[in-house]
Structure 1
Amino acid sequence: MRAPPPFRTALPLTLLLAAALAGCARQESSPPPLTAARADAAVLKRLQAEQTQQDRNLQTFDELDFVHYSGQQWDHFHRSHAPNILVHYPDGSTTTGLEAHLERLKPQFVFAPDTRIKVHPVKVAQGNLTAVTGIMEGTFTQPMPLPDGTTLAPTNQPFKLDMATFGRWENGVMVEEWLYWDNQAFMKQIGAAK
């Protein structure tokens, strides 16, 4: 199933185009001052550049989840994450730096090697911020290492978990990321909690 196009607000661009068309429709004997036309062109150019960057950030995020995360291509995360990225996790903890973030992601694939994100139902970009929802799926087929050194036996139960990511971008990469999902719902789905 194809994901819907990202929702974004186009009001500023629409208003700018309407104003430009209204100006063209005027039946004045003298054209508007050249400086006003240059200012309108500069604003339009800036808005187009912002829209292009917002679209690029969302496209980069799609590639991150659908290809690099789902394919465990850890050496490609630098394409979407700054080296010193600050990441906030659902349990309130944080990591600083790409390597620390990757170390938090990799264990998911130890007990659920088929973990994947293949859809982003909602994608919004405004300025240097993105908000994306996704569906993380997989199956608990391998022993899960626990913090105390023991393991939890696999239940072979699948999981399908809603998640959301908010990102702050600079120069085409995220410098800060907020991750949200329901850990209790996840544990219930894989049969590790009631």
Structure 2
Amino acid sequence: MDRRAVLRGGAGAAFGALALTAVLDGGTPAEASDRYRHLSEFKMGDPVRTREEYPWPGHLTREERRNLEMFDVADFDVYSHQDWDRFDESHDQDVRVHWPDGHYTDGLDIHIEDMKAQFLWAPDIKIEVHPVRIAKGNFVAVTGVWEGTFTGPMPDGEGGVIQPTGKPFALHMCTIGVLNKRGVMEEEFLFFDQLTMRRQVGLA
């Protein structure tokens, strides 16, 4: 159904469409009206500063909603609190993870070690905001705000370390996941601007 077309068809049709929207999305017609009026006028600022999030998308299947909820838990609770033993709740043991520079790794153990390495130089890393959430079938995509402070030695990839500058970073990131039949990621694509991060912490 084209909700916007129905809304232009008169008050009765509009209320009917809003009632249907409310049933499908979980809410009252008034809440649905407010939600879609808000979206038609909404332009997001910089969520790094504003902490804004779009409302959850409508017409989600039960599985799609579960997948988005899983992503919130994986970032807000598991990753941000370094609860590594819980990563199998969202990742397959044989997960392939693609990084921004083009390389990829195979296996959950390797992925966890890569994430642990991030906390060596920024122990306070966290993701607390998902500005945009999208789910379709077994595909899920979320944007996030990745932030922390460069307070620990950073491995330089050549056996040495870069001394911390004490400067914070906060930047946009995006994760796209392909889920298997068990509802966990079998493939993950990570995107963030490493140059922006290095500039913020004083390394570029």
Q: Would the TM-score normalized by the shorter structure come out above 0.5?
A: yes
Q: TM-score range by the shorter chain?
A: 0.7 to 0.9
TM-aligned CA distance change 1:67 to 1:152, over 3 Å: same
1:172 equivalent in alignment to 2:183 = yes
Aligned: 1:6 with 2:52: no
Name the Cα RMSD after superposition: 1.3
After superposition, the C-alpha distances for 1:19-39 in whole angstroms (9 at most, x for unaligned) are xxxxxxxxxxxxxxxxxxxxx
Partners of 2:52 and 2:131 within 8 A in 1: no
| Residue identity (%) | 46
Give 1:31-180 correspondences, 5 Å limit.
51-170=61-180, 171-180=182-191
Tell me, in whole angstroms, the C-alpha distance in 2 between the residues paired with 1:70 and 1:174. 18
Post-superposition shift, 1:167? 0.4
Residue type matched to 2:138 in 1? Answer: N
Higher relative contact order at CA 8 Å, sep ≥6: structure 1 or structure 2? 1
Residue-by-residue CA offset, 1:121-172 (whole Å, 9 max, x unaligned): 0000001000100000100011112111111111110000100000011211
Residues 125 and 146, structure 2, Cα contact 8 Å, conserved in 1: yes
8 Å contact 2:133–2:143 — kept in the other structure? yes
TM-score, normalisation: structure 1: 0.76
Q: What is the CA–CA distance in structure 1 between the aligned matches of 2:94 and 2:160, rounded to whole Å?
A: 32
Q: Give TM-score scaled by structure 2 length.
A: 0.72
Gaps of 5+ in 2: 1-50
Q: Secondary structure at the match of 2:82?
A: coil
Q: Counterpart of 1:166 in structure 2: which amino acid?
A: I
* Alpha-carbon distance, 1:2 to partner: 7.0
CA contact (8 A) 2:149 2:169 kept: yes
Aligned residue for 1:106, secondary structure, equals helix
* SS state at 2:55 partner: coil
